[in-house]
Chains A and B, each alone.
Chain A
């Protein structure tokens, strides 16, 4: 089932604009990880979150465990931000390290 739901499924952004991606969880999530899969297929770590907010350059991510969602904000989008963004939930009661992935948001940044 859709234990980790990502929205939107696809997104086009003009270079220099801002946007937000979202993950909603229907399982008891204790940690969240965000990854970017680039067009060549490589998966890169973006954030590891316990409840709270982290920022790295033009990216900022928040995990709200009480309301069971996480967001990834992209500021001043650049062409190299294109790819598929995945969130993954670490679940309470699940074995340490096991992640449940969403289906991804495909982002295209347009010049």
Chain B
């Protein structure tokens, strides 16, 4: 089974502050993704990456940046956190098979 870890598992941030969420995978997968989940809803794609040092915009990229410094690591950056970014954030990875494996999620509360 794929192993995807996220840190922190939960975070409280202040409005206007900078937040960095980290994701690490140990499965040699090329593809990595960041999603957000709002209470009672499905997942929406924020950013994704096919290869180190390259990122692509997903469906809801506004207010978020992403960084893929290596194949194993993929970060999501909120430069100026806002109340509307309170959500649970999931990282996922996939290989050539296309099946996505998810991390445990990070609960972010912006006050």
- Chain A positions within 8 Å of B, measured between CB atoms, are 4, 31, 33, 35, 41-43, 45, 48, 86, 88, 90, 95-99, 101-104
20 examples of A-B residue contacts, CB within 8 angstroms: A33-B100, A41-B104, A42-B102, A42-B104, A43-B102, A43-B105, A45-B101, A48-B97, A48-B99, A86-B43, A88-B43, A95-B50, A95-B56, A97-B33, A97-B98, A98-B33, A98-B58, A101-B42, A102-B42, A104-B42
Whether B101 and A90, one on each chain, are in contact in the complex, defined by CB atoms closer than 8 angstroms, is no
Known contacts: A41-B104, A43-B90. The answer to whether A101 contacts B43 by CB under 8 A is yes
Whether B45 sits at the interface, judged by CB under 8 Å, is yes
Total number of A-B contacts with CB less than 8 angstroms? 54
Q: Which residues of B have CB within 8 Å of A4?
A: 42
Residues of chain B whose beta carbon lies under 8 Å from any beta carbon of chain A: 31, 33, 35, 40-45, 48, 50, 56, 58, 88, 90, 94, 97-102, 104-105
Closest to A44 in B: B102
Q: How far, in Å, is A15 (CB) from chain B's closest CB?
A: 25
List of B residues within 8 angstroms of A42 by Cβ: 102, 104-105
